[in-house]
Structure 1
Amino acid sequence: MPTTLFALLAREAAGSRRDIFLAVLISAAANTAILVIINNAAAALGKGAPDLRDVGLFLVALALYVLGLRYTFDSATRIFEHMLATIRIRLMAQIGHAELMALQKVGRARIFQAITQDLVIISESQGLLVAAAHSAVMVSCTGLYVLTLSMPAFLIIVGVIGAGVMLYLSRMAELNRLITASTTEEIGFIGMMSDLIDGVKEVKLSHARREALLAEIRSIAVRLRDIKMQTTSVYNSTALFSQSFFYMLLGLIVFALPSLVSGFAQHAPEMVATVLFIFGPLSTVITAVPAISKADRAAGSLIALEGEVSRMVTVPESIQPPAPLSFRRTLTCKAIEFSYPGEAGETFHIGPIDLTIRQGEITMFVGGNGSGKTTLLKVMAGLYPALAGALLIDGKPVAPGRRPNLRELFGGIFSDLHLFSKLYGITPDTDAIAAHLDRMRIADKVGYDDGFTTRDLSTGQRKRVAMLVTLLEDRPVLVFDEWAAEQDPEFRHYFYEELLPELKAAGKTLLIATHDDRYFGVADLVVKMEMGVVASTRRRKAMA
């Protein structure tokens, strides 16, 4: 039973289940009534022309069947797609409000799987689920009809069908195991193929690397071939079993039951017609089981992800934009500490850090890779919550519930920047955009017309477009994390010697993570980070 999928439907579309169930019941009962009417009419043919009442009943039953099933499919489609759209919107809103660190722990792959696979699997299952439910009710109604003809025959037929279904499902379990193994190998093959394509320069430079990589690719390809062949063999034998079982059931009715059950021979024609009638619906139920089970697993994964992401929203954010905190004098770190697990299982820790940033100054954070510069900047900007200590604005602690207001002070560009296709949250000013594109010397590479004309740019060019966005956003505190690393010497000089002093003159507070010691003299304060702590600070007079 797809209990998780039903639980999801109960949560998202509780009010519509009764109407759909009633429509399924009416349609399935009408379908069974068609069988009964046809059997009775066929039995009466030897006595003369068909009874017009049977014709009328047949037409009524047919109309109920068609209308009921049409209503069921249309309603199910509407309910499923409305439910999935609601989940998509809600999940995206939760991601938008979630804590950055917690979201990074979940990872892109799991979120993308939920959006691109789990939701699609559930959407595609709705037709099968309705068809299987309708078929199951119809098989049950038909079973009641068989019971009225002969109880012993009913019990024997149900027992034989039950045994056949169990054998079929055991074969399907083996088939699902092979499909899962095949999917795992396909993912591995795609990963190795990506290594080969993305690393083709390195592959060409090393014969040993190329041969080792190709050997592993060949090994995966051979395993995939063997699993695919075994999967096809199991599938073919299962299909053959289904067809053979159907014929065995007909043989049981015609050759065995008349001898085993007294008085059965007179009902044999109706029984044969009934088995022929229910074979299609029964096959629908059985073949739908794997797909519905897959949708049930997808629903479980989706519910788990939603629950996990909802717990990441530690500070609920209002639909109304939070007002930025007032910042006139100082931004202070008081015994700030923060830590997170690294990729190899180690824990990276910064702090305790005591540091005061003055409003309107240029502060440069320097130090080796992994010294904690970027992490500290993310804590100061409110992207990561401090695990200990406090952030103070003008001497007043920033409460956890005020972190959204703190973030409204900050703009800027981190090293792992994302360039959006449009200026979301910014009213486009055509003249200002054109001026900034010229200023960033990329007007010949990209334009803006209800969105950037391209994002297929080098890293340095993308950073210049991101600078355009930052300047248009016009926040009081700007963070530039290794922004100049991919710029040519001429534009790097422009950034440090012209742009930063200009922004400072406009009253901006500038926080710069950099390795460019040649330009340390531009800073009012240089903060040296080592192993997650502040090793030293130097003000401009001390550097002169």
Structure 2
Amino acid sequence: SGGVRGSGEAGGLRFEGVAFRYPDAPANVAPVLARIDLRVRPGETMALVGGTGSGKTTLTALVPRLHELTAGRITLDGEDIAAMPRERLRELVSVAFEEPTLFSASVGENVLMGAEGASAEELGRALDVAQAGFVKSLPHGAGTQVGEQGLSLSGGQRQRLALARAVVGQPRFLVLDDPLSALDVHTEALVEAALRRVLEETTALVVAHRPSTVMLADRVALLSGGRIAAVGTHQELLRTNEEYAWLMSGAGAVAKAGPDSEEGAR
């Protein structure tokens, strides 16, 4: 893939013996993540699939250090994230979560947050990838104030702006937590087509609940009971893993119709 660096053995995004428990969790409660060993190769897109409460959101939040590990380590191109200044970490890793946060600022300022020096052209490109054409029809376009003090947007609109924010700086690493859950099927298909081109230029971990999102990935990791239970292509896991086949079937998808309550609560 084009601009991807760090292609040696240490390259990419690695989880090595990663464990996590919430600091306030009782000692007798099992950790949210028990022992995660996973490698996303340089330039690869890895989908992360698991049932509600399996720890997917927690695992993705560890990469930008929204939570600190209990044990183990995470490396980006061989560099331990715990040893990095947060500013550098946030430059390397871009994230978009299922429940996006918009700040009291203009649309443009929200999207360009963390991508200082990005041009109007790059802003436009990011909005295009996220299929956020609705911005043009806002009262002041990209200058429209949104967030708590400004115009309130729909869930799908907020999600598209958060996705635009994640892709604007052509980040080296991209972490997406079910970033398309609030979109209608038509918009989702358009975003996926545009996102596919972005993913070719980066190393990405994408939490997925639907086969359509999984199809963006080169490989899939199944998270079950706080551990990585299987890694393979979508087709391999469909054939060899009952839990994965169930999650990807209608039954698994219906179980994930509402917000990811157990994980979202944290």
More helix by share: 1
Common fold by TM > 0.5? yes
Preserved CA contact (<8 Å) 2:56 2:207: yes
Q: Distance in 2 between matches of 1:332 and 1:441?
A: 36
Matched, 1:371 2:54: yes
Matched, 1:411 2:94: yes
Shift of 1:346: 5.7
**AA matched with 1:398:** D
Q: Distance in 1 between matches of 2:221 and 2:151?
A: 34
Residue in structure 2 matched with residue 352 of structure 1 by the alignment = 35
Task: Summarize the Cα distance change of 1:441–1:481 in structure 2 as closer, same or farther, 3 Å threshold.
Answer: same
**AA matched with 2:164:** L
Matches within 5 A, 1:25-424: 327-328=6-7, 329-340=11-22, 341=24, 348-394=31-77, 396=78, 398=80, 400-402=82-84, 404=86, 405-420=88-103, 421-422=105-106, 423=109, 424=113
502, 516, 520: which one aligns with 2:210: 516
Q: Which structure 2 segments of 5+ residues have no match?
A: 239-266
Shift of 1:514: 1.5
Number of residue equivalences: 215
Shift of 1:350: 0.4
Residue in structure 2 matched with residue 494 of structure 1 by the alignment = 190
Identity %: 25
Residue in structure 1 matched with residue 152 of structure 2 by the alignment = 456
Preserved CA contact (<8 Å) 1:382 1:407: no
Matched, 1:477 2:168: no
Q: Distance in 2 between matches of 1:461 and 1:450?
A: 13
Shift of 1:473: 2.9
Shift of 1:383: 2.5
Deviations 1:14-38 (A, max 9, x none): xxxxxxxxxxxxxxxxxxxxxxxxx
Preserved CA contact (<8 Å) 1:504 1:510: yes
Shift of 1:371: 0.5
Deviations 1:134-172 (A, max 9, x none): xxxxxxxxxxxxxxxxxxxxxxxxxxxxxxxxxxxxxxx
**AA matched with 1:492:** E
Q: Distance in 2 between matches of 1:392 and 1:437?
A: 30
Q: Distance in 2 between matches of 1:399 and 1:356?
A: 15
Residue in structure 1 matched with residue 135 of structure 2 by the alignment = 443
The TM-score with structure 1 as length reference comes to 0.36
Shift of 1:444: 4.5
Q: Distance in 2 between matches of 1:512 and 1:409?
A: 16
More strand by share: 2
Measured on the aligned residues, the alpha-carbon RMSD in Å equals 2.9
Task: Summarize the Cα distance change of 1:494–1:389 in structure 2 as closer, same or farther, 3 Å threshold.
Answer: same
Question: Segments of 4+ in structure 1 off by > 6 A?
Answer: none
Shift of 1:443: 2.7
The TM-score with structure 2 as length reference comes to 0.70
Higher gyration radius (CA): 1
Deviations 1:443-484 (A, max 9, x none): 345322285595411111011112222232331111111111
> SS where residue 21 of structure 2 aligns?
strand
Q: Distance in 2 between matches of 1:399 and 1:462?
A: 29
Preserved CA contact (<8 Å) 2:47 2:214: yes
Q: Distance in 2 between matches of 1:440 and 1:531?
A: 37
> SS where residue 14 of structure 2 aligns?
strand
Preserved CA contact (<8 Å) 1:434 1:443: no
Q: Which structure 1 segments of 5+ residues have no match?
A: 1-325
> SS where residue 483 of structure 1 aligns?
coil
Q: Distance in 2 between matches of 1:342 and 1:483?
A: 28
Q: Distance in 1 between matches of 2:213 and 2:52?
A: 18
Q: Distance in 1 between matches of 2:175 and 2:188?
A: 16
Preserved CA contact (<8 Å) 1:371 1:531: yes
Q: Distance in 1 between matches of 2:52 and 2:121?
A: 39
Residue in structure 2 matched with residue 532 of structure 1 by the alignment = 226
Preserved CA contact (<8 Å) 2:49 2:56: yes
Residue in structure 1 matched with residue 245 of structure 2 by the alignment = none
Task: Summarize the Cα distance change of 1:472–1:521 in structure 2 as closer, same or farther, 3 Å threshold.
Answer: closer
